[in-house]
Amino acid sequence: MELKKLSEHIWYMPYESERDRPNLGYVRGKNWSLAIDAGHSAAHTKEFYALLEKENLPLPCLTLLTHWHWDHTFGMHAVNGLTLANEKTNRHLAEWKNKIEKNGPAEFFAIHESIRKEYSENKEVIVKLADIVYSGQLTFDLGDCIVKVIQSEAPHTDDSTLVYIENDKLLFTGDATGDDFFTGIKDAALSRKLAETIKTINPTICMEGHWVPVETDDTLNDLLSGV
């Protein structure tokens, strides 16, 4: 696996289907750097950091979470620096933290084969809450690189965060444009709301959680197809 450079300020470790690992994003400004999504497990996070170190990129000071799903968040306990999530994401994480600490990981492992693959060899499942919780919108200045963090309604989950790298006109959407993982339903009204939000942000490129970067029209067409 190689780290890919996407634009002036952005790199990413590409997604992998077998263990349902999403793209992990990295944004570097003149003063500091951040990551988008923490990873499926500590092993995933550590592989990402090894790739950053190979390119002489400093480890992120902050990791932003696009939504609560395990493949984006359960590596949180292994991140460098702090983590940030919206209040709904943190509520979902708290629910799973309690469940796993009380009853063990069986219910979690039962969700999907890809999880059992990621956590093979009895790897421990550790769920952590975010260090910083926000609601609405935030702006970070990494040093000549502006990052906007935007809470949004979306068909995939009720806790989406979009991350817009203003200087590079690139939007990280997480899995926001996908259907609901558990029901397979893509709600039409929520899809249209998300499409409006993306059009207002007006990125050139969209980076979904489990796909290659594409032009925004591709993402919008896909989001609105069949709704």
Interacting residues with Zn ion (CB under 5 A): 69, 175
Percent helix, strand, coil in the chain, to 5, is 30, 25, 40
CA distance 71 to 214: 21
Residue 133, H or E segment: strand 132-134
19 versus 69: smaller Cβ distance to Zn ion: 69
> Which C-beta is closer to Zn ion: that of 9 or that of 69?
69
Query: What is the dihedral sign for C-alpha 86, 92, 98, 100?
Result: negative
CB 36 within 8 A of CB 24: yes
Q: How far is the CB of 69 from Zn ion (least distance, A)?
A: 4
Query: Look-up: residue for tokens 């949004």?
Result: 152
* H-assigned helices in 104-203: 106-109, 113-118, 188-201
Name the residue nearer to Zn ion (CB basis): 177 or 216. Answer: 177
Nearest-approach distance from CB 41 to Zn ion, in angstroms:
15
Nearer to Zn ion, 161 or 216 (CB): 161
What torsion do the CA atoms of 82, 31, 48, 106 make, to the nearest 10 degrees? 10
Q: Shortest distance, CB of residue 178 to Zn ion, whole angstroms? A: 7
Please give the structure tokens belonging to residue 38.
């923490």
Instruction: Considering the complex, state which of residue 29 and residue 75 has its C-beta at the smaller distance from Zn ion.
Output: 75
d(CA 34, CA 149): 12
Q: How far is the CB of 55 from Zn ion (least distance, A)?
A: 27
Q: Which amino acid is at 153?
A: E
Nearer residue to Zn ion within complex by CB, 68 or 119: 68
Report in angstroms how near the CB of residue 70 gets to Zn ion at its nearest: 9
Q: How far is the CB of 12 from Zn ion (least distance, A)?
A: 17
